Structure 1
């Protein structure tokens, strides 16, 4: 509802109070000429607010601490400004990919229109506070609870400060304050702009007809090539042209599209590339709205220096004061139920050079024990150890007698260039047993989709990653690292300053240069997030399905 319409609506509501009660005009509340003593009025209002707020502890606490003073239902200009600002903000909720709040606004208007008694006034006061708290928490920390969507999204949202919302709207300029509640990160603001851009594209028909072909490459011609060219023109990858063949310009445009969508940039429009090119604006819009929700889940204080691992992008980055100072390719967990990499944040405390690999129990019992039952000398590169860490003589053990539940041993791979963790691992101790590490399987980093691990994050350039981390605590990090590496001894190196690590999952993001990029939903998590958002009331304007 626009401010003008809201003002008109408010000005038409003028219920009369009986003598001794407030005379109400939603443009302002005022005491009538013949009213009961002011103290009685105040006491009755406080009781009404206390009663109405009892079901909402944060709201009740705020009013208790402030002496039940009204912030919405006063007769002063400040109260009127707050009311108008709240209604405007509620009306703009869909801009942020949140559910339409028209019904809630109508209910609030009805509550205000129905005020007849001091008790009604108190209920209206609390109703508006609850509306603010609900809107503000959704906008600032997210509409959904991540853990309820997928068991791999183990991220803990930062808790909203409900009382702070009420204090903020009371003490600050209301319109500016409500606008400040949305995440102020550069990424969120860029995603918001991308959402608006896509909505405009959707309104004018999107990117045009789909490309019907299995594969197109340089030298091809015909209607499918024209459709490909026209679609890339609509997407902004080509200037307008009447060319009908797959020429150099079209090949370069395909390469750029591939680079922006995490595909092998070979300039050939194969099945995978055409599938991405043919995705409608609505699909990209869903990805952006999901990314905005995910951005709300992350703590606003991510650390001036932090590590960012985007699973769908298969990269690990070091971010210093908002700038990417190091980036390397990564391998993430295989798309199996028990191997997908989880999403969470923690703090990197140390690295281990020449690490041993202490085989996780799940791998021991599911993968290695069956082999040992058939052949006690299987996986001979792995040591079997007892509860005291002593090496077990394989020949003296009948492995066939053990089940996954009763197997009493642990397994360890000593440091070596062939160690599953490579030559260095980066530790941020967590209950999921996830960390970053080197790997001897270097060829995997050349793959387009790099989901092969048991869940940990493998790095293509682990040494360089270590140099970057150690540069803040040693003058020559490369020499320091290799001196320890060449010793062959397993060595723990504590970081002088812990580094936050954020393992995220974004199929839509905007680069530092302002370029929107999209990735495939490799674990189908974003599909689940979107379904949950839809159930919560989020819709795409003008889009069916």
Structure 2
């Protein structure tokens, strides 16, 4: 038990430590650059810099910063940092000049290896300025020296932030370009972008943020080697690689040791456990807009930037599988009811009875649906449910996870589709090739799994909901190329046209004369 006297002493001590820490931080941020002229002369060997003073430079830098504000991707963050730190050119003096770091040659010109353009990071402008500082006779006057130092500092800060964002988060925000994208994806914030100002070693920091995912490195190697996929030109192959490398830069990857992942273009589900697939199966996904491959990455235009999803496409999302329903009742969505069920019932008076479908009007079950003239009803007044059984569209089991699109994984009586190479055939949910295998992988050899097997085998089943003992993350994603376990780069058709949308947005950013506002708009 701590006494009040002791507690008071601890509080005072903590307060003093806090004041001391704040004071040190403030002094560090406002550190004197009284030897600026000496430092700059030492690094450049240009005598003009001998007369440089912090106050005179700060006045010039503040003016240049105001003039260049519209050309910065993150003007508020950059302005706030330099205003709070007395317009000290910390990047130029303490890193670029002192450590002889050639930002353009060492990093910005090499972004082509990442499928990006050096212009995005003002590589030419920064290289030209660095060369002026390396030539001891290039800068003639002190005014020119101040202006060039201000520009080097400002361009470096802007481009380093953009480069750091690109390597760690990608240049495009998927939520901004895709209509049906519900995967949690972290984007750059002020804390992550401010790291370049506070690192002790810029080179070490830039090296540390290079993508290191083996999948990324495999695609990068094929890109830099000029690889060509079967049936594609080198150019189209490169575009495939570029968009999928961008996807791999997005911070939306699973962190759990065990998770379920569905890759839409591959029509596959994997259960991943500690980096290895412990279960793999065919799946059927929602119908897409580009099933016939009419649109490709060979050509694209401005209209490709607009994402126009087909109504039955399976969304990209992440969630957690929390339970299963064995012998589920299918609450038929209104869109399917009005466009399909009522149409079938109008053509065949016994369609509903033969398919174990109950019809409801105003929430009350209709006892004799075959007596209804379905060709003339107000479709909005009716709803439908399909009872459990062998013909139920959801099969014998469905796996539930919260999502705003009302999709789930489920069994299906329509097994023939799994024999096809193109399996974008559902209304949006994911049909499983081996649903009982997934149940076993999630439940293990438990009594709950035994109950699932028993209930799935019943002839006159009742619906049963069973909670997972360990809730399992699920990711429904979209990758059109990747490296398989044998080291071969696999390619799949862009069945939803999402590659085209992404590539068009990347080109829009990289082809802009001043991409700053485009980069800022994608944060």
Task: Give the structure-2-normalised TM-score.
Answer: 0.72
Equivalent in the alignment of 1:391? 365
CA 1:332–1:35 in structure 2 vs 1: closer, same or farther (change >3 Å)?
Answer: closer
After TM superposition, the structure 1 stretch with the greater mean CA deviation from structure 2, 132-141 or 431-440, is 132-141
Any idea what the Cα deviations from partners look like across 1:90-126, whole Å, max 9, x if unmatched?
1111101112338812223456768737576455433
Structure of higher RCO (CA pairs closer than 8 Å, 6+ residues apart): 2
Matched-pair contact (CA < 8 Å) for 2:199–2:205: no
Equivalent in the alignment of 1:461? 434
Residue among 233, 236, 239 paired with 1:280: 233
Equivalent in the alignment of 1:131? 159
Equivalent in the alignment of 2:357? 382
For residues 33 and 533 of structure 1, the distance between their equivalents in structure 2, rounded to whole angstroms, comes to 45
Equivalent in the alignment of 1:429? 402
CA 1:102–1:521 in structure 2 vs 1: closer, same or farther (change >3 Å)?
Answer: closer
After TM superposition, the structure 1 stretch with the greater mean CA deviation from structure 2, 150-159 or 338-347, is 150-159
Q: CA deviation at 1:318?
A: 0.6
Q: Is 1:158 matched up with 2:186? A: yes
Equivalent residue of 1:352, what SS? strand
CA 1:50–1:286 in structure 2 vs 1: closer, same or farther (change >3 Å)?
Answer: closer
Over aligned residues, Cα RMSD in angstroms?
3.7
Matched-pair contact (CA < 8 Å) for 1:350–1:492: yes
Instruction: Trace 1:352-371 onto structure 2 (pairs within 5 A).
Output: 352-371=325-344
Equivalent residue of 2:487, what SS? coil
CA 1:504–1:173 in structure 2 vs 1: closer, same or farther (change >3 Å)?
Answer: same
Q: CA deviation at 1:457?
A: 1.0
For residues 191 and 347 of structure 2, the distance between their equivalents in structure 1, rounded to whole angstroms, comes to 63
Q: Is 1:446 matched up with 2:419? A: yes
Matched-pair contact (CA < 8 Å) for 2:37–2:51: no
Equivalent in the alignment of 1:223? none
Matched-pair contact (CA < 8 Å) for 1:348–1:427: yes
For residues 96 and 508 of structure 2, the distance between their equivalents in structure 1, rounded to whole angstroms, comes to 37
Matched-pair contact (CA < 8 Å) for 2:186–2:252: yes
Matched-pair contact (CA < 8 Å) for 1:48–1:123: no
Q: CA deviation at 1:362?
A: 1.3
Equivalent in the alignment of 1:417? 390
CA 1:45–1:288 in structure 2 vs 1: closer, same or farther (change >3 Å)?
Answer: same
Any idea what the Cα deviations from partners look like across 1:251-308, whole Å, max 9, x if unmatched?
xxxxxxxxxxxxxxxxxxxxxxxxx844333333322222111222351444221211
Matched-pair contact (CA < 8 Å) for 1:434–1:457: yes
| Number of aligned residue pairs | 437
CA 1:102–1:409 in structure 2 vs 1: closer, same or farther (change >3 Å)?
Answer: closer
Residue among 183, 195, 217 paired with 1:189: 217
Matched-pair contact (CA < 8 Å) for 2:239–2:503: yes
Residue among 483, 496, 502 paired with 1:529: 502
Equivalent in the alignment of 2:19? none
For residues 21 and 27 of structure 1, the distance between their equivalents in structure 2, rounded to whole angstroms, comes to 11
> In proportion to residue count, which structure has more helix?
2
Q: Is 1:297 matched up with 2:250? A: yes
Q: CA deviation at 1:465?
A: 0.5
Q: CA deviation at 1:414?
A: 1.6
> Which ranges in structure 1 are unaligned for 5 or more consecutive residues?
1-19, 207-275, 539-545
For residues 497 and 57 of structure 1, the distance between their equivalents in structure 2, rounded to whole angstroms, comes to 45
Q: Is 1:146 matched up with 2:159? A: no
Any idea what the Cα deviations from partners look like across 1:130-176, whole Å, max 9, x if unmatched?
11121222222222343565545555642123532442564254333
For residues 383 and 105 of structure 1, the distance between their equivalents in structure 2, rounded to whole angstroms, comes to 66
Q: Is 1:330 matched up with 2:283? A: yes
Any idea what the Cα deviations from partners look like across 1:346-404, whole Å, max 9, x if unmatched?
3322222221111112111222233445566543322123454x423336755455455
Equivalent in the alignment of 1:481? 452
CA 1:160–1:385 in structure 2 vs 1: closer, same or farther (change >3 Å)?
Answer: same
After TM superposition, the structure 1 stretch with the greater mean CA deviation from structure 2, 422-431 or 178-187, is 178-187
Matched-pair contact (CA < 8 Å) for 2:358–2:365: yes
Equivalent in the alignment of 2:306? none
Equivalent in the alignment of 1:219? none
